[in-house]
């Protein structure tokens, strides 16, 4: 599962990436977490509000920090290898 945290590198962005790692570890879901910080790359993805989160190419959130349950739902419902 590829998750991209799209952000310029602010505290909210770091908190989002940290939360995703924590939830993935707790749920034992293997993820690849990529942080996209370059403004040109952010624009190329069509993101206008940060932090934003993409899961397997789908924008799940833009302009806010997710809650634990949000991340848990993404990892559970979008994971093609769930048990």
pTM value surpassing 0.85: yes
pLDDT in the model for residue 83 = 42
Structural domain boundaries, residue 16: 2-77
32-68 pLDDT, tens digit per residue, is 999 999 999 999 999 999 999 999 999 999 999 999 9
Answer whether residue 18 is part of any domain: yes
Answer whether residue 20 is part of any domain: yes
Check: CB of residue 53 under 8 Å from CB of residue 66. yes
Nearest to 32 by CA among 49, 47, 17: 17
Count of domains observed in the chain: 1
Answer whether residue 63 is part of any domain: yes
CATH number (domain holding residue 69): 3.40.30.10
Answer whether residue 82 is part of any domain: no
Residue 10 pLDDT > 90, yes or no? no
Q: Please provide the average confidence, as pLDDT, over all residues in the chain.
A: 91
């Amino acid at each position: 599962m590829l998750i991209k945290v799209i952000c310029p590198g602010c505290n909210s962005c770091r908190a989002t990436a940290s939360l995703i790692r924590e939830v993935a570890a707790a749920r034992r879901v293997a993820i690849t977490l990529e942080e996209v910080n370059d403004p040109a790359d952010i624009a190329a993805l069509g993101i206008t509000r940060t932090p934003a989160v993409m899961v397997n190419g789908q924008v799940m959130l833009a302009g806010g920090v997710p809650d634990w349950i949000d991340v848990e739902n993404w990892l559970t419902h979008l994971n093609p290898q769930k048990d």
